[in-house]
Structure formats: C-alpha cells, structure tokens
Amino acid sequence: MRKQIAAANWKMNNTQEEGTKLLNEIINSDVQVNDNQRVIFAVPFPYLVSANQQLNNRANMFVSAQNCHNKTAGAYTGEVSVDMLASINIQYCVVGHSERREYFSESNQQLAEKVDRCLSKGITPIFCCGEPLTIRENDGQNDYVAVQLNESLFHLDGETIQKVVIAYEPIWAIGTGKTATAAQAQEMHSHIRAVLANQFGDTVAANISILYGGSVKGANANEIFSQPDVDGGLVGGASLIATEFIQIIKALK
C-alpha cells in the first residue's frame, strides 16, 4: 500500500526560533500519524539537525532537505551534498522544485543525477514535476510532465523507482492562490500513474506515492486528498501556519 504523505516545504522562511515554535506546535498537537502515513518537514539547511532532534524519532514523522547538489563533492561553494545529508541522518530530499528549475535553471539531466545521488545514500527523493501556465493554456501539460518523468526517472529500474515520491506541482498554482480543482489534480495524477505504468508496469505504478503541490490549504485538503490517485500534498505557505498544516495532516487518507 502506497504511503499517504503530508510534506511541508518551508522554503526560505522562519528564523530558528520561529521554526522551533512552529514544529513544536504541530508535533505536540492531537494529530495522529498512522503507519500508512508520513509527515515530512522540508526545512532550510541550517535547521536540519535541530529539527531532527525535535522530532526525536517520533513515529512516521521525518525531516527533509529542500535541495541537494548533483555532484558528490568538490569546489562548489555554498552547496550541500547528499553525503552531507546522509551524515546527519536526513532521510528525504526535495528534488526539482519548480522554483529551483526556474531560478537556478536546473535541467532534467541534473535532476536525474540528484535522484541517483539520493538513492545511493538511502535518501528518498521527493521528485517535483509540473507545467507552467502557458503550457496548461495550450493543453500541453500531459506531454510536458511525461518528458520530465522520462528524462529524470526512466533510467531507474522497477524496484528502484518505487523508492521515489513524486510531487505534481502545477506551477501556475504555486503561491498564486490559484488551485487546480480536485478533478484537475486527479486527472494529472492519473496521467502520471499511467505514464509510470507504461514504463514500469501497473503493479509498480500502483506503489508510488504521488503528491499534489499547489496552494493546498486546510480548507481544500480533504477534497483534493480524497481523489483516488492523490496521495497527499507538498505544501508551501499553509505549512508555515500550525493550525493549517495540522488540518492538512488530518485530511490524509
């Protein structure tokens, strides 16, 4: 059974004090995280160690990095390698967020390398894909996302691809207040699963968690997460508000 996941992406937000307070409010709430569920906090690099300590091995709750470098080591000032993340017991890493693709020109090939680096150290990549507004307006979203999956993930075998979490982010719905309807989210998630099934088979595709990312809030999480191919969310702004993210966690199947 594939995992149902609420992943918080704090992006470049929160001081150490603010992050500690936010995390405490969430983990000390009445929220229950079942064994088929995961709650993941993708925090800024400076807070990875302290966030891990705060979680203190709480069942089914994990810390994630927001990015990693595609090289093992070297003269890359300011970058963070997968080996570094593994050395501090980080078990997840976001790869290919649309902001990384847009602002830092990350290519599908670079992201394939990042995925490989993560998997080589036992870190689960949360691989992001999704289309900009211009592609959606021209009804090209299915082909666009299929190319992203093909060029970054299809070098993996059927066993290994099941170690990847996929997050679909309609770029036009990130931080804009616009949200894909539940039907639109299901349509794309179903398409992604069909693309995976075509490459790896139905059984493998059925085991891969696919998250929706794009202005998920407490108010719409139940409807979005109730869709059969939506396995949770990669949440930005709403994850910075404890009451909102708690609602989102409670909406998991």
Positions annotated as catalytic residues are 97, 169
Report the distance separating Cα 41 and Cα 23, nearest Å. Answer: 9
- CB neighbour list of residue 235: distance below 8 Å, 6 or more residues apart: 6, 7, 8, 9, 213, 216, 245, 248
Q: What does the radius of gyration of the chain's CA atoms come to, in whole angstroms? A: 17
Q: Helix (H, G, I), strand (E, B), or coil: what is residue 122? A: coil
Q: Are 226 and 184 in contact (CB under 8 A)?
A: no
Q: How far is CA 97 from CA 159, 242, 252, in A?
A: 24, 23, 22
Rounded to 5 degrees, φ, ψ at 184 are -65, -40
Lookup result for tokens 């099934």? 197
Q: Tell me, rounded to whole angstroms, the distance of Cα 85 from its chain centroid.
A: 17
Rounded to 5 degrees, φ, ψ at 81 are -90, 160
Report the distance separating Cα 13 and Cα 22, nearest Å. Answer: 11
Report the distance separating Cα 7 and Cα 153, nearest Å. Answer: 21
